[in-house]
Chain A
């Protein structure tokens, strides 16, 4: 391992762990769920990505294989983190988690009512689904 790669990898490790720590501090400190969701989904993804970049720089042989494995994990994280956050926000809204008092604009209730009305209008008359 050359010295430069070692220095760059150390910096990437520290930056990545720092981002993860900031994400978790935000998870504890921020006031309501919708602001709290920002911290882990953004900061932690970037932190893990830089840690994986450090891994690709330093792992044995620095072969194409380990770099590819790290790249695949980064791609998976970047694709799945927004989807998971979106599903969680949706679940929070439909289970009635309210935004904090600092939220001034909330356009969702009107939209939700509208959409629920459309779905009821579209539903067939003989709806015998027992789970509803």
Chain B
């Protein structure tokens, strides 16, 4: 039953990744694409954690943490670049 739950969760997360990819492709504004990219990074994080549960190993949790931090930093960087035209000032 547990394996079935992980399968269903993987399918739902893959579907939500596909929906976020659709928003990433159609835009319309640049901030929409940044938001879709942020959503995709969080969804990939969730996918990693579900895979870690499915394969019964804790090794993916560290990479999930790195992905959370990188997703946040990339979102902030894109937003600052849109506002200022440069990232570090």
Q: A interface vs B, CB < 8 Å?
A: 6-7, 9-10, 13-14, 16-18, 20-21, 23-25, 27-28, 33, 36-37, 40, 44-45, 47-48, 51-52, 54-55, 58-60, 65-66, 69-70, 72-73, 76-77, 80-81, 83-84, 87-88, 90-92, 94-95, 97, 131
Q: How long is the Cα–Cα vector from A44 to B23 in the complex, in angstroms?
A: 15
Q: How long is the Cα–Cα vector from A118 to B46 in the complex, in angstroms?
A: 44
Contact between A13 and B1, CB atoms less than 8 A apart: no
Q: How long is the Cα–Cα vector from A6 to B56 in the complex, in angstroms?
A: 13
With A14-B8, A24-B16, A88-B79: A6-B2 Cβ-Cβ less than 8 Å = yes
Contact between A28 and B23, CB atoms less than 8 A apart: yes
With A14-B8, A24-B20, A94-B83: A77-B42 Cβ-Cβ less than 8 Å = yes
